[in-house]
Structure 1
């Protein structure tokens, strides 16, 4: 098959799976993961989430394209090409690109590889931090008083350092200027920090999907300054104890406990 061909349009069975999943509100990242589990030895039923996004946005101005974009859990009508915008001058010094992140992290074979972000409140005057493990989907919600880099990284460090070292190996973040203090955070926690490409939220799909779940409790327009730490902890506990299809209907807490038991067994 030529590289320019669209695999989804070329294979009706794959196309039906993708479109039905979109109608259920499934994100492209979760689709790609489900396909791997359901069709492990079928080369036709094999696709990356980036290819799914490219298919959806390929004809964004068409009637079908607009309908597909609206079905995405997070949709932007003008999805920017990371290659075009990647040449922009970075606002964050000494950042390490996701391109340099070890490839095995993409496979979710071990816990401790995290994704981080800020969720912004009403009028951009408040925010909370979110940190999610790529394998276990274990969530940490961080209460912050302001979006200054030192404030954000200090609050992140405080909660991350409560986790065992083997559950805080790396973190992939977006290009928010609040992570300008990343070298200090890396030194304080012992974690390697990588940055996704600009306008490429799908590269942190686990975090984006989790933020969507949090929005069910704290919809857009929420002033996070009025949300107590107790309320945030209740949301965190709710989501960490919710069974997930992508985890074989286990909860993030169960997955995390398995990782801890595995590590304790190895040490013994």
Structure 2
């Protein structure tokens, strides 16, 4: 394996200066330093034919190195930084969504786009202060370091065997048609308030439901109220965890004419879209706050923001766009059938 090259150190430059002043040959100096004579020859020529100065040579070396450093794209005064900052902080887009949009806007100009990793790196290298705090809080999880949080699901014995997710039709699993939802609650301070979350599996369309408490009756009323606003063809099934708030599932099935399926204990990946969405929603509905103060109007606004974000899994289309296409396709099929 070849020895890795290293630049001359300050001590080596000092030895080179002293020995050159004494008239020592470059071959001899090279043997003493363990350096090639050609390396020393280039060093001497680089700084003119006069007297070699270790101090001047070191200064010139540092200047050359500084010019070789890759320039940062995201500097606070630049337009690119402002675009990233505004979409991250004000629009609450993720770094991936911002990077994908920049690629679409500037396909032929690499200087006007950045990767999502560059955005993350720019956030974390900032010194402590108000700007860094705002950028970190705008991230999905609001954490100062990247990483995934572990989640668990509690098992419940009241779930009927025939409604376990293992019996759910395969076309739901494959996300072939719209109308199949994943649901959950996100809790507020001391688990005394909550908001119902619904995510359509194919389009990732989000619906939020205000709850008047965390009981099964409150969940029944909240989910019923919001899901009744959906077209009937978009109310095919609901996959839920084993939380006791859905013990009124039979009444929900009757009211909405919908199938209900229950995920297995300790298997949050079986409702992955909903778990991911709950994490994103914590930007707007943070832990430790009283969620009973969130009006349905505010929740509709949050859902609109979520549905207006481009999603990688949708080819960078938004859930609202994909849902609109599904509704148009359904209406066209009905018109043809009639």
Q: TM-score range by the shorter chain?
A: 0.5 to 0.7
CA RMSD of aligned residues (A): 2.2
TM-score by length of 1: 0.67
Larger Rg: 2
What is the match of residue 262 of structure 2?
Answer: 195
What is the match of residue 147 of structure 2?
Answer: 71
What is the match of residue 126 of structure 1?
Answer: 193
What is the match of residue 166 of structure 1?
Answer: 233
How far off is 1:215 after superposition?
0.5
Equivalenced residue count is 193
Contact kept, 8 Å, 2:186 with 2:194, in 1: the verdict is: yes
Question: CA offsets per residue over residues 8-66 of structure 1, 9 Å max, x none?
Answer: xxxxxxxxxxxxxxxx999xxxxxxxxxxxxxxxxxxxxxxxxxxxxxxxxxxxxxxxx
In structure 2, relative to structure 1, the CA distance for the partners of 1:242 and 1:123 (3 Å cut) is same
CA distance in 1, matches of 2:169, 2:302: 32
The 5-angstrom pairing of residues 1-268 of structure 1 reads 71-72=147-148, 74-76=149-151, 90-92=157-159, 96-268=163-335
Q: Structure 1 residue runs of 4+, over 6 Å off?
A: none
Unaligned runs of 5+ in 2: 1-93, 97-145
How far off is 1:163 after superposition?
0.7
Question: CA offsets per residue over residues 192-251 of structure 1, 9 Å max, x none?
Answer: 000001121111000011111101112211210222222212111100111111111111
Using CA pairs below 8 Å that are at least 6 residues apart, which structure has the higher relative contact order?
1
Contact kept, 8 Å, 2:263 with 2:270, in 1: the verdict is: yes
Unaligned runs of 5+ in 1: 1-23, 27-69
How far off is 1:105 after superposition?
1.0
Give secondary structure in 2 for the equivalent of 1:197.
coil
Give secondary structure in 2 for the equivalent of 1:119.
strand
